[in-house]
Amino acid sequence: MKRTTKKTIWAGITLVIILVLWLKWDNWFYNPAEPHFQASINPSRILLTCSGNLSDSRDITWEGDTLTKQGILQLAGKSFQSDTTGFTSKPNIIRTSGGASAFFRIRIENLRSDQTYSYRVANDNRWSEWSDFKIANKADSTFSFIFLGDVQDSINGIAGNLLQEASLSRPNASFVLYVGDMIERPHDAYWGEWFRSGGTLFRTIPVIATPGNHEYYKGIIQKLDPRWTSHLTLPQNGPPNFLGRSCYWDFKQTRFISIDSNGIQSIPSALEQRNWLKSVLEQTHQKWIVVFMHHPLYSTSRGRDYFYLRTLFKSLFDQYHVDLVLAGHDHSYGRAIHIPTTEQNHKQGPVYIVSHASPKLYDINFSDKMDKLASNTAMFQLFDVYNDSIQFGAYTSQGDNFDRFTIHKDHLGNNIITQYAPPNESKFLMPTGNFIRKSSKSEIEKYRLEMRAWEKSKE
């Protein structure tokens, strides 16, 4: 009898495992075949990034075909004795199932404060047009940056419009910050779409980023698309197994820290990033600390909960007084400023922001931790950083201000947050069309009851 019971239990467990694998196979393991592509013989996908000090260095990366023997950069600026200075780069060949490309990277250091530089690049003797970038004035402590969540657009999509709107609002932004899922999947065509969405802006304003799950190949052990680290050359100051993914930059009075949350695939990988983060925070002396990662600690989407991230990182965020935690992944908007801290002195904890810039829309979870929520709309975010305050605004694709607040830091290092957000509007909380199509009347009614209860609690 006991043997029969054990066999039945194991048969049931096996059946459940098979069912789960069958239902989740595409999500967890299936990588669609990459269509064949031919890299351009001319310099393409030119990108301004930074693997060093944001205050006085830049990296320029670009792509070409595998027959290119050498990449060349010409740089012009007042700090050079001659009209132009030349740099060269050997090709780094990346081969995928769809084809092969050569990637080039040149790092320029010791750039002068408050100076504008012009540059162009070449694949052998085939030159790009000239582009300009400016190095910020070191004497000025203020700066602005643009924050975008998941882009994850279709080919010839519209997500790039948000970046252009953001750039028009902050033409002197110091950089654009992405929190992963810039592409739909690791295919050349989707990389091309991301660069198309950036237009010429990517050549003039540096991009800093952290990878998302859509930059990874699916599998039992997920692997990052090598094109991500070839395009985005980031600081090599992270933990050994996450170089160029988990890292940090210092800019003026702010430290920006990237955590590769999708790279957390085991207990050792989780502890490696946590221990590294703790050491970085212990050595941080900047006035402001901004952490960004793909997955949020507090989800805004229904059916999701990243408790393991809270277990790993929240106590560190509270202990070392992180000011902002930026994330994506959930394809909805959420902002929280009243989450209790784990510290006994109950100082104001970080402001948590989740956002996206994608045409893909997920339904929201009416969490009482969120002070603002939005579904059915993509957003861009603008930050203006001053000596004693950070001003924030979130805007819809129509340019309407959806959320706004200011963090003021007093002389004791305490944060005081003032909200200027417009009132919550029901139109931003409605279920998506996909939810209505797949849900029963009772499920839709339950959603609306949750929505009304959340609205009432935030009045």
154-204 pLDDT, tens digit each:
878 888 889 999 999 999 999 999 998 999 999 999 999 999 999 999 999
The pLDDT-based confidence of 27 (bands split at 50, 70, 90) is low
The pLDDT-based confidence of 424 (bands split at 50, 70, 90) is confident
The pLDDT-based confidence of 447 (bands split at 50, 70, 90) is very high
Task: Say if residue 206's pLDDT is above 90.
Answer: yes
Place of tokens 């007084």: 321
Top pLDDT among 83 and 163 is at 163
- What is the model's pLDDT at position 346? 66
In CATH, the number for domain 44-134 is 2.60.40.380
Least confident segment among 10-14, 105-109, 283-287: 10-14
The pLDDT-based confidence of 411 (bands split at 50, 70, 90) is confident
Average pLDDT over residues 406-422: 90
Task: Say if residue 4's pLDDT is above 90.
Answer: no
The pTM is what?
0.92
Average pLDDT over residues 293-318: 92
Beta-carbon neighbour count of residue 137 at 10 Å?
A: 13
The pLDDT-based confidence of 355 (bands split at 50, 70, 90) is very high
Question: 143-435 adopts what CATH topology?
Answer: Purple Acid Phosphatase; chain A, domain 2 (3.60.21)
- What is the model's pLDDT at position 143? 96
C-alpha atoms less than 13 angstroms from C-alpha of 363 in its C-beta half-sphere: 18
pLDDT tens readout for residues 368-386: 899 999 998 999 999 999 9
The percent of residues above 70 in pLDDT, for the chain, comes to 92
Where are the chain's structural domains? 44-134, 143-435
Q: 389 near 408, Cβ under 8 Å?
A: yes
pLDDT tens readout for residues 115-159: 999 999 999 999 999 999 999 998 898 999 999 999 988 878 888
Q: What are phi and psi of 286, to 5 degrees?
A: -70, 155
Average pLDDT over residues 101-117: 94
CA angle 105, 213, 303 (to 5 degrees): 160
* All residues at 6 or more sequence positions from 171 whose CB lies less than 8 Å from its CB, including other chains: none
Average pLDDT over residues 428-441: 91
SS3 readout for the chain:
CHHHHHHHHHHHHHHHHHHHHHHHHHHHCCCCCCCCCCCCCCCEEEEEECCCCCCCCEEEEEEECCCCCCEEEEEECCCCCCCCEEEEECCEEEEECCEEEEEEEEEECCCCCCCEEEEEEEECCEECCCEEEECCCCCCCCEEEEEECECCCCCCCCCHHHHHHHHHHCCCCCEEEECCCCCCCCCHHHHHHHHHHHHHHHHCCCEEECCCHHHEECCCCCEECHHHHHHCCCCCCCCHHHCCCCEEEEECCEEEEEECHHHCCCHHHHHHHHHHHHHHHHCCCCCEEEEEECCCCCCCECCCCCHHHHHHHHHHHHHCCCCEEEECCCCCEEEECCCCCCCCCCCCCCEEEECECCCCCCCECCCCCCCEEECCCCEEEEEEECCCEEEEEEEECCCCEEEEEEEEECCCCCEEEEECCCCCCHHHCCCCHHHHHHCCHHHHHHHHHHHHHHHHHCC
The pLDDT-based confidence of 216 (bands split at 50, 70, 90) is very high
Least confident segment among 74-88, 250-264, 394-408: 74-88
Task: Say if residue 2's pLDDT is above 70.
Answer: no
Mean pLDDT over each residue of the chain, to the nearest integer: 90
Q: 262 near 212, Cβ under 8 Å?
A: yes
Select from 355, 264, 348, 354 the least CA-distant residue to 313: 264
The pLDDT-based confidence of 423 (bands split at 50, 70, 90) is confident
Q: 312 near 274, Cβ under 8 Å?
A: yes
- What is the model's pLDDT at position 155? 79
- What is the model's pLDDT at position 426? 87
Average pLDDT over residues 311-338: 94
- What is the model's pLDDT at position 220? 82
